Structure 1
Amino acid sequence: MPFDAVAALRIGASDVRSHYSSRDTILYALGLGMGSDPLDPDQIAFVYEGQRGPRVMPTLPVVLVPSNTHSLGLDMTRVLHGEQRLTLHAPLAPEGEVISDTRTHSIIDKGEGRGAIVNVETIGRRATDGAPLFTMIKSLFARGDGGCGAPPAEPLPVHRPPDRPADLDHAIATRPDQALLYRLSGDYNPLHADPAMARRAGFERPILHGLCTYGVAARAIMERLCDHDPTRIYALEARFTAPVLPGETIVTEMWRDADTVSFRCRVAGRDVIAIDNGRCVIGPAR
């Protein structure tokens, strides 16, 4: 059945409650490699519920809210996660309940045979008092759904890094089993766990989740430019351009211009950019 863009624009979910515990917060941080040095107090603060923790990784919202992707009617065998945008209105507590509203923000029809971009927006607020917590936009590249006849819409702006060498970088090694750990935060796509499935998809082995690489990039910026303080990250957006294999090292290259950090993620040992067009807004501790 052809993708119905008009119907997809009406699809949404309101007042969805998502409870998360400190165990979920710790498991997510472990999935991003926190705790790889068990003697580093800055890492342990994210994976241990002791006096300082657990601290909350700023990208935790990407795993808190159920996805409505399968309800849109897309050809899911040909859908790629293209971009992720996150604005943090306030820091999250280590545990609590979030109420979220999700809607199809916009659809960019690139034409028959060229696919479509489907942007899904989620707004999260604290259950106790309704205070805004975050706004996210997930951009899906639906390769099989071009020519869907979506109403005209402006593409979301793409951030461009400065035309100069990066000011600094930060390398973070991933573990060979990191995708198996990260998937426990909610993304059970077998592409990240089943070697046979990965080979059928054209990969030599299961690949790392794009949102795991996204979280590792946030971690790199937090460690190098925010003194390990997650509350100093106010926004993070990026485009996914290539997969990372678990066990590879992700090198996040950064350009600092006042409160804006442009970034991209390079895979060490391969001439591959895994994340591009990154933009992070940092500010004072909250």
Structure 2
Amino acid sequence: MLNYDKVKHWPIEDVTQTWTERDSILYALGLGVGGDPMDANQLRFTYEKDLQAVPTLAAAIAWPKSWMRNPETGIDYLKLVHGEQDTRLFKPMPASGTVTSRTRVSRICDKGVGKGAIVELLRDIIDTASGERIAETRQISFLRGDGGFSEVSGVTDAPPAGLPGVPERAPDAEFELTSPAQAALIYRLSGDSNPLHADPEIAAKAGFSKPILHGLATYGMAAFAAISCLAAGDARRLKRVAARFTAPVYPGETLRFQFWKGDNGRWHLLARIDARDVIVLNNGLIILS
């Protein structure tokens, strides 16, 4: 059973990582950017000339080791699902540099016996040389096998605020992006080597017909779609991207990103795969300057 006190105060290590322009390009290629090598917008993320990093790279680098696998946490790791991701940019994400990440458990919420639990992690991405914070990432994991822990510990945190739903009207803008058939094999070179995304046998044991794309790759695709469709390709304008993961994506599928204009640079986001009639990202929020 999940140990509230140990998980809430787990000593998560700081992680320092250096990345290069090559790494930024590799990350973009794993998102399907560069599928049209004649597209000037895509070349801004995949060619050294005037190179920009897709800002959600901040959510993919300098990750601590997978401490939730430790038996002392009491977490049933096999039933953990990545539920939501939220990144706030305080400075433009550099195409190369060195950062230090500092991660903390900010919230553990018991939904009840048989209903699972929620763990919220906050991670600061800090420029190692200057000490300035580049970004903050917020990750919510659903622990499907850990509901009811508060009956033993006697303590639970309030649930996190929900992301806003999309308006019930036609979207104001749409953008399509196709994930290459080898996307997961490319994306895993950016740091997430979970065999679920590469090994057909392991994917089958998990109930999938073939290896699935990383959730953070789908999330990065949403950021690129927003930059391309709403910000004229200027990655510096992206200040926040948040979304809930609602269904897996298979490499090779085409995603249709839909956007609804809000107030003060806010846009609502939803992503769907028309070929399977499934929504893969929902309750999305984009903020632009």
TM-score (norm 1): 0.94
Contact 1:12–1:102, Cα closer than 8 Å, also in 2: no
Q: Is 2:276 aligned against 1:270?
A: yes
Task: Write out per-residue CA displacement over residues 9-54 of structure 1, whole angstroms, 9 at most, x where no aligned residue.
Answer: 001436432211111111101111111111222211211213x12x
The total of aligned residue pairs comes to 280
Distance apart, 1:257 and its partner CA: 1.6
Q: Is 2:63 aligned against 1:62?
A: no
Distance apart, 1:151 and its partner CA: 2.5
Contact 1:70–1:76, Cα closer than 8 Å, also in 2: no
Paired residue for 1:118? 119
Paired residue for 1:136? 137
Contact 1:110–1:146, Cα closer than 8 Å, also in 2: yes
For 2:12, what is the secondary structure of its paired residue?
strand
Q: Is 2:20 aligned against 1:30?
A: no
Q: Is 2:225 aligned against 1:226?
A: no
Task: Write out per-residue CA displacement over residues 204-230 of structure 1, whole angstroms, 9 at most, x where no aligned residue.
Answer: 111111111111111111111100111
Letter in 2 for 1:133: I
Paired residue for 1:169? 174
Letter in 2 for 1:70: W
RMSD: 1.4
Q: Is 2:142 aligned against 1:145?
A: no
Moved over 4 A (4+): none
Distance apart, 1:189 and its partner CA: 1.0
For 1:19, what is the secondary structure of its paired residue?
strand
**Mean alpha-carbon deviation: is it higher for 226-235 or for 144-153?**
144-153
Q: Distance in 1 between matches of 2:125 and 2:159?
A: 24
**Mean alpha-carbon deviation: is it higher for 163-172 or for 76-85?**
163-172
The residue correspondences of 1:43-58 to structure 2 (distance < 5 A) are 43-50=42-49, 52-53=50-51, 55-58=52-55
Distance apart, 1:70 and its partner CA: 2.8
Paired residue for 2:82? 81
Letter in 1 for 2:235: P
The residue correspondences of 1:245-260 to structure 2 (distance < 5 A) are 245-258=250-263, 259-260=265-266
Which stretches in structure 1 are left out of the alignment for 5+ residues? none
Task: Write out per-residue CA displacement over residues 78-98 of structure 1, whole angstroms, 9 at most, x where no aligned residue.
Answer: 100000011000012211111
Contact 1:100–1:123, Cα closer than 8 Å, also in 2: yes
Task: Write out per-residue CA displacement over residues 206-264 of structure 1, whole angstroms, 9 at most, x where no aligned residue.
Answer: 11111111111111111111001111110011000000111110000110123111011
Q: Distance in 2 between matches of 1:137 and 1:12?
A: 18
